[in-house]
Amino acid sequence: MRVLGIDCGTERTGWGVIESDGRSHRVLALGVIRTAVKSPLEQRLSKIAQGLRDVLQSHQPDSAAVEEVFYSQNVKTALKLAHVRGVALLAIAEARITLGEYSPLAIKVSVVGYGRAEKQQVQMMVRTLTGFQGVIETEDASDALAVAICHATTCRTALKATV
């Protein structure tokens, strides 16, 4: 199964595409969609939407997964993140592929085995689980790969439960 993982952000939206059978995972592509901090939100959202459409078109994933909105103390930041997440969900719906949504806790438990893992631990486990030797440009791309791994693992577990 080919999975696109997305780590939503208004400045940097990370994405990663893996090929997985639910147990072994291989990185096919990863990157970051960057927007100018001083640009109006609607222009940033448009750039993110187009970037995700390009990724979906180029890599033709079978499914995609995004992190659920994390409710922090900063409501303004959470609202902006929700806008980006909405754009991601729209791009996925337009591509007509299945969607998985996971909490930050579920993603960390799936990849690291510990729900309060630090970003560096997530990146280390992403490398370990995929055998990826290349450069992971940012934590956003690493987090996106973690979302994809969580989805692939969850789908395999669900499939095993029905067999």
Range of the domain at 142: 2-162
Q: Is the per-residue pLDDT at 162 higher than 80?
A: no
Could you give the residue numbers annotated as active site?
A: 7, 67, 140
The DSSP secondary-structure symbol of 103 reads -
pLDDT tens across 23-57, in order? 999 999 999 999 999 999 999 999 999 999 999 99
When divided into structural domains, the chain yields a total of 1
Contacts 24+ apart (CB under 8 A), 27-32: 27/130, 27/132, 27/134, 27/145, 28/2, 28/59, 29/55, 29/58, 29/59, 30/136, 30/137, 30/141, 30/144, 30/145, 31/55, 31/137, 31/141, 32/137, 32/138, 32/140, 32/141
Q: What are 75-94's pLDDT values in tens digits? A: 888 889 999 999 999 999 99
Q: What is the pTM of this model?
A: 0.94
CATH number of the domain bearing residue 16:
3.30.420.10
pLDDT in tens, 107-123: 999 999 999 999 999 99
